[in-house]
Amino acid sequence: HKVVWLSRHGESIYNIEKKIGGNSLLSERGELYSEKLPSIIKNECNVSDELIVWTSTLTRTQQTAQHLPYKTKLTWKALDELDAGLCDGMTYEEIESKYPDDFKQRDEDKYGYRYRGGESYRDVVIRLEPVIMELERQQNILIITHQAVLRCIYSYFMNIPQDQSPWVAIPLHTLIRLEVRPYGPCKVTLFKANI
């Protein structure tokens, strides 16, 4: 069976400050995750093959990949986090007080709501199409990307309707193994890092 590996980036400084978007560095815990990831893959998952690592163009995903021993690491703009436009760098509390109507609209239609000057989940699903096509053709891919993006990729492989993807839980500091099956959803195994 074909296997796809997925992970969120390690915890970032913005995650701690509860800010969305941006291009911050990993926190100390996030760095610890990046240090542990190679041994989780090797020891807990018994992966002896070379993996091909795909990250976004943002620092936190590349930092999470930095200790992985594999030769091929590719960055995809299409794997960047959902663009929050004007709200980039704000906390949800700030968004709610500064743009209450937008906050309400997003609450009512989280899949379709497009941030001003930014993206919706629907936009992200569309820009992920080439990534998904390439994934279907390739073997041994490990994708390190962002929560919203992973929700969409995970939903695709798990046959979850895309309009439900905004609520899919993708845990932090956890490697996800998806065993792709020809019919029906993938078999999922989670490897949680002890940090």
Residues that bind ligand G3H (CB under 6 A): 20-21, 81-82, 84, 146-148, 166
Q: How far apart are the first and last CA of the chain?
A: 31
Give me the residues paired with residue 177 across strands. 5, 189
Give the nearer residue to ligand G3H in terms of CB position, either 10 or 166: 166
Choosing from 81, 114, 151, 177, the catalytic residue is 81
State the CB neighbour count (10 A cutoff) for residue 42. Answer: 12
Instruction: State the nearest-atom distance from the C-beta of 145 to ligand G3H, in Å.
Output: 10
Give the nearer residue to ligand G3H in terms of CB position, either 34 or 147: 147
State the CB neighbour count (10 A cutoff) for residue 72. Answer: 11
Beta strand extents in 96-154 (DSSP E only) = 141-145
Instruction: State the nearest-atom distance from the C-beta of 23 to ligand G3H, in Å.
Output: 12
Choosing from 106, 146, 173, 177, the catalytic residue is 146
Instruction: State the nearest-atom distance from the C-beta of 191 to ligand G3H, in Å.
Output: 21
As a whole number of angstroms, the distance between CA 84 and CA 38 comes to 31
Q: Of 51, 60, 62, 2, which Cα lies nearest the Cα of 27?
A: 60
Give the nearer residue to ligand G3H in terms of CB position, either 41 or 78: 78
Is 15 labeled as catalytic in the residue annotation? yes
Is 67 labeled as catalytic in the residue annotation? no
Which residues carry out catalysis?
Answer: 8-9, 15, 60, 81, 146
